Amino acid sequence: MKDDKHMTLPVYMQPVAVHRIHSERLILTDGDARCYLWVGEEGTGPIEIPQALARYLVCRTEMTLLEVPQRMWFVLDDLPVRERAGTNPDIAEHNYPL
Instruction: Please write the tens of the pLDDT for every residue from 14-47.
Output: 999 999 999 999 999 999 999 999 999 988 899 9
Q: Is the pLDDT of residue 77 over 60?
A: yes
pLDDT 10s digits, 42-57: 888 999 999 999 999 9
pLDDT at 70: 85
Rounded to two decimals, the pTM is 0.75
**Which of 38, 24, 33, 26 lies closest to 63 in space, CA to CA?**
26
Distance CA 19, CA 95 (A): 35
Would you say 65 and 55 are in contact if contact means Cβ atoms under 8 Å apart? no
